[in-house]
Amino acid sequence: MKKILIPISLLLLALFLPELVGRNPYFTGIMINVLMMASLASAWNIPGGYAGQFSFGHAAYFGAGAYTTLILLSGNPIDPLLALLAGVVTASLIALITGSIVFRLRGHYFALASIAVAEIVRLSVLNLQFTGGAQGILLSDLTFHGIDLNSKIPFYYGMLMILVLSMGTTAYIQSSRMGYYLQAIREDQDAAASLGINVALYKNRALLVSAALSSVTGSLYGLYIRFIDPGAVLDLRLSIEIILTAIIGGVGTIWGPVLGAILLVPLAELLRSNVIGDTLISMGIVSDVSPVGHFFKEGLAHAHVLVYGVITVVCILFMPQGVLGITRRRK
Amino acid sequence: MEPLLTIDQVTRRFGGNVAVSGVSFSVMKGDITGLIGPNGAGKTTLFNCMTGYISLDAGTIIFEGRRINGKRPDQMCRLGMVRTWQRVKPLGKLSVLENVMIGAFVTTASPKVAGKASLEQLQAVGLDRYADQPAGTLPIGLKKKLELARVMATRPKMVLLDEICGGLNHAETESVLDIVRMLRKRGVTILFIEHDMKAVTSICDRIVVLSSGEKLAEGTPEEITSHPAVIEAYLGGGYHAQG
Ligand SMILES: Nc1ncnc2c1ncn2[C@@H]1O[C@H](COP(=O)(O)OP(=O)(O)O)[C@@H](O)[C@H]1O
Ligand SMILES: [Mg+2]
């Protein structure tokens, strides 16, 4: 009973959250980012956390969704849902090609290959005509079944739906044979194979599901932000943020990636908006002419990935199961 | 009796080192066949070839009348040939029960059914008390039993046991051998790599001796323990002295 009660009350809270903040666009924007990172980290977690196949290039699937959807919609009056499905097809193809080549090899080739593939995707988008190159793609008008898309609220609920889909998929996999198989692969591939697991097939399945979910997240992000360029949706930094979110929250669990996003996205926002630096300076704790003050004022805003990195190192050293692992152990 | 497995002129090289050299023998249905030989004789390499972990350089392997060269390990498992590991490979973070369930999933996709069947296997090898413990935390003697329970859960026709008694004390060895006998009673054919000569002679119907990658001798335990070349190469004459 308790098992269902907590998710349901959290879902209810999430449903009413925009009202609780008075539909404030700034906070709604941050909450959309939380949901987006939670969904991406959840998707990454399926091959990464369960099967132990660390992708360092998940931005490729996110970006594939965003780009495919926006390219199709700019100038074509097609249903955004169709454009979103087309994104899933693109991302799935990238995943299938990557996986079918690299999952046959032993060792850590997948981690390397995932970076390489993501860079190939990024550089292609950067240099092709129809992708808009470095200038990116702007979606000037967007309609969807009469919903007011100038408000952030529909996108909040859209992202919430995608997160529920990602978590539901994870929960379903975890409770089925596939979940056991993925974890067996993570623990020992040779033993897994000797017990009848087609290791390459299951890795491919995990990556495919993950790529599709990431792509849907990317499509919705593209529709929400309406302007994308390679730096925003295909960058290695995004891939790293996804991994760190999952690791800090707790890999191989349903709630870990969500917890990671709830902790990290607001933290990144604090760093970006310079709240910490401004507060420290205005409280007179550091002076804005000193090097430390200068760092807080100028450097910290650009340093959130660095801060994530430091948190991750601390995490790996002191709580290898992530923040969720700590709450588990206390029980 | 008919052979379940036939190995014909199997050769495997590692660079210039011929780990297995033109080895041929058959394993009869329902038998326990011992595969013995000094360290580095090529026993594990032969297992790796049979279960699809490494390729052959020459030769044929026939299982149930079918040529199985080039099959993947998971395919071999689903055909009914399953192995254990000389260096045990527990799925460390999974529970003991979940380890066995991975094997049981060969027979069913339902975690519920697999869980029930796996608990029975754990009871059969006496590990049910540890069902919820992470497999990585078991002592070596129990890890070896876990390997057996996992393999049994796949409902194999034939199991390949690689030094399943290696590193165990006398009592542990006896209780593992009891499990092997139980497996045979269930109709499972067994190929048994073992160092402990006493264990081999007490339990095997036939024995194949490897030395430096080549088959040195083959026969009943009595024939093998009195075979001059075997005594020379493997036992170094010390076996009779130890009794
Ligand atoms: N993966 C490998 N790469 C290179 N040489 C190997 C490999 N596996 C086994 N060998 C060599 O093959 C020979 C047989 O080894 P092995 O089959 O492990 O012997 P046994 O199990 O009888 O002790 C040894 O000389 C060993 O060094
Ligand atoms: Mg060996």
Q: Does residue B243 surpass a pLDDT of 60?
A: no
> How many other CB atoms are found less than 10 A from the CB of residue A302?
10
CA dist B101 and B109 (Å) reads 10
CA dist A275 and A112 (Å) reads 37
**pLDDT average, residue stretch A126-135:** 86
Task: Choose, out of A177, A178, A189, A194, the residue to mutate when testing the contact with B (most B CBs < 10 Å).
Answer: A194
* Whether B51 and A194 lie within 8 Å, measured CB to CB: yes
pLDDT digits (tens, 9 = 90+) for A242-259: 999 999 899 999 999 999
Token pair recorded at residue B83 = 């192995």
Helix axes A59-73, A236-249, angle to 10 degrees: 130
Mean pLDDT for chain B overall: 92
**pLDDT average, residue stretch B213-221:** 92
pLDDT at position B107? 96
Is A227 strand, coil or helix?
strand
**pLDDT average, residue stretch B57-86:** 95
Asked if the structure places residue A86 within a domain, the reply is yes
CA dist A32 and B217 (Å) reads 72
* Whether A191 and B91 lie within 8 Å, measured CB to CB: yes
CA dist A313 and A317 (Å) reads 6
**pLDDT average, residue stretch A117-124:** 94
Residue among B227, B166, B228 at smallest CA distance from B199: B166
Question: Which strands sit side by side in the sheet containing B32-36, from one edge to the other?
Answer: B81-83, B158-162, B189-193, B32-36, B206-211, B214-219
The ligand whose atoms approach the alpha carbon of B166 most closely is 2
Q: Hunting for tokens 């044929």 — which residue is that? A: B60
- Neighbour-count burial for B113-133, b at 16+ CB within 10 Å, e otherwise: ebbebbbebbebbebbebbee
CA atoms within 13 A on the CB side of B96: 24
Contact partners, residue A109, CB within 8 Å, separation at least 6: A102
pLDDT digits (tens, 9 = 90+) for B126-163: 999 999 999 999 999 999 999 999 999 999 999 999 99
pLDDT at position A75? 79
Q: How would residue A69 be classed by pLDDT, with cut points 50, 70 and 90?
A: very high
Least confidently predicted of A116-130, A281-295, B89-103, B108-122: A281-295
**pLDDT average, residue stretch A4-17:** 86
Higher pLDDT, A276 or B56: B56
Q: How far is B77 from chain A (nearest CA, A)?
A: 5
Q: Does residue A152 surpass a pLDDT of 70?
A: yes
Q: Does residue B242 surpass a pLDDT of 60?
A: no
pLDDT at position A87? 96
Token pair recorded at residue B53 = 């972990």
Asked if the structure places residue A302 within a domain, the reply is no
* Whether B91 and A187 lie within 8 Å, measured CB to CB: yes
The ligand whose atoms approach the alpha carbon of B20 most closely is 1
Q: How would residue B241 be classed by pLDDT, with cut points 50, 70 and 90?
A: very low
pLDDT at position A325? 67
Helix axes A199-225, A153-174, angle to 10 degrees: 170
* Whether A187 and B93 lie within 8 Å, measured CB to CB: yes
Q: Hunting for tokens 């499509």 — which residue is that? A: A219
Asked if the structure places residue A157 within a domain, the reply is yes
Amino acid (one-letter) located at A251: V
The DSSP line for chain B is: --EEEEEEEEEEEETTEEEEEEEEEEEETT-EEEEE-STTSSHHHHHHHHTTSS--SEEEEEETTEE-TT--HHHHHHHTEEE--SS----TTSBHHHHHHHHHTTT-S-HHHHHHHHHHHHHHHT-GGGTTSBGGGS-HHHHHHHHHHHHHHT--SEEEEESTTTT--HHHHHHHHHHHHHHHHTT-EEEEE-S-HHHHHHH-SEEEEEETTEEEEEE-HHHHHT-HHHIIIIITTHHHHH-
Least confidently predicted of A65-74, A103-112, A168-177: A103-112
Task: Judge whether B94 is closer than 8 Å to chain A, CB to CB.
Answer: yes
Number of folded domains that form chain A: 1
**pLDDT average, residue stretch B187-208:** 88
Asked if the structure places residue A215 within a domain, the reply is yes
Q: Which of B73, B90, B92 sits opposite A194 (nearest CB)?
A: B73
Least confidently predicted of A62-76, A99-113, B139-153: A99-113
pLDDT at position B89? 96
Is A144 strand, coil or helix?
coil
CA dist A62 and A19 (Å) reads 29
Report CA Rg, chain B: 18
Residue among B112, B114, B149 at smallest CA distance from B130: B149
Q: How far is B127 from chain A (nearest CA, A)?
A: 19
pLDDT digits (tens, 9 = 90+) for A182-226: 999 999 999 999 999 999 999 999 999 999 999 999 999 999 998
* Whether A191 and B83 lie within 8 Å, measured CB to CB: no
Chain B, residues 40-69, CB within 8 A of chain A, namely 51, 53
Closest residue on chain A to B149 (Cα)? A195
ipTM: 0.93
Asked if the structure places residue A3 within a domain, the reply is no
% of chain A exceeding 90 in pLDDT: 53
Q: What is the DSSP letter of A137?
A: E
Ligand 1 pocket test target in B12, B13, B14, B43 with most atoms within 8 Å of CB:
B14
Asked if the structure places residue A293 within a domain, the reply is no
pLDDT at position A155? 93
Contact partners, residue A190, CB within 8 Å, separation at least 6: B53, B73, B85, B89
Q: Does residue B166 surpass a pLDDT of 70?
A: yes
Q: Does residue B76 surpass a pLDDT of 80?
A: yes
CA atoms within 13 A on the CB side of A255: 12
Q: How would residue B237 be classed by pLDDT, with cut points 50, 70 and 90?
A: very low
pLDDT at position B240? 45
Token pair recorded at residue A70 = 């926006």
Higher pLDDT, A231 or A321: A231
CA dist A47 and A26 (Å) reads 33
Amino acid (one-letter) located at A61: Y
The CB-based long-range contact list for A178-182 (8 Å cut-off, 24+ gap) reads A178/A202, A178/A205, A178/A206, A179/A50, A180/B94, A180/B98, A180/B101, A180/B102, A180/B105, A180/B111, A181/B102, A181/B105, A182/A46, A182/A47, A182/A50, A182/A51, A182/A206
**Residue A2, φ and ψ in degrees, nearest 5:** -60, -30
Residue among A57, A19, A17 at smallest CA distance from A40: A57
The ligand whose atoms approach the alpha carbon of B39 most closely is 1
Q: Hunting for tokens 């001059």 — which residue is that? A: B228
Token pair recorded at residue B63 = 């299982």
If you average pLDDT over each of A287-296, B179-188, B198-207, which comes out highest?
B179-188
pLDDT at position A326? 64
Q: Does residue A107 surpass a pLDDT of 80?
A: no
Burial (CB count within 10 angstroms: exposed 0-12, middle 13-18, buried 19+), residue A191: buried
pLDDT at position A306? 75
Q: How would residue B66 be classed by pLDDT, with cut points 50, 70 and 90?
A: very high
First to last CA, chain A: 17
pLDDT at position B236? 58
pLDDT at position A131? 85
Nearest CA to ligand 1 atom 12: B19
Partners of B62 in the β-ladder? B6, B67
CA dist B150 and B165 (Å) reads 16
**pLDDT average, residue stretch A267-280:** 75
pTM of the model: 0.91
* Whether A176 and B111 lie within 8 Å, measured CB to CB: yes
Distance B194 CA to ligand 2 centre (A): 9
Q: How would residue A299 be classed by pLDDT, with cut points 50, 70 and 90?
A: low
Asked if the structure places residue A286 within a domain, the reply is no
Q: Which of B78, B98, B150 sits opposite A180 (nearest CB)?
A: B98
Higher pLDDT, B141 or A144: B141
- Neighbour-count burial for A14-36, b at 16+ CB within 10 Å, e otherwise: beebbeeeeeeeebbbbbbbbbb
Asked if the structure places residue A12 within a domain, the reply is no
Higher pLDDT, A63 or A323: A63
Q: Does residue B106 surpass a pLDDT of 50?
A: yes
pLDDT at position A141? 74
Q: Does residue B238 surpass a pLDDT of 50?
A: no
CA dist A229 and A231 (Å) reads 5
**Residue B207, φ and ψ in degrees, nearest 5:** -135, 135
Mean pLDDT for chain A overall: 87
Token pair recorded at residue A14 = 């999430």
**pLDDT average, residue stretch B167-193:** 93
Q: How would residue B215 be classed by pLDDT, with cut points 50, 70 and 90?
A: very high
Domain span holding position A53: 22-235
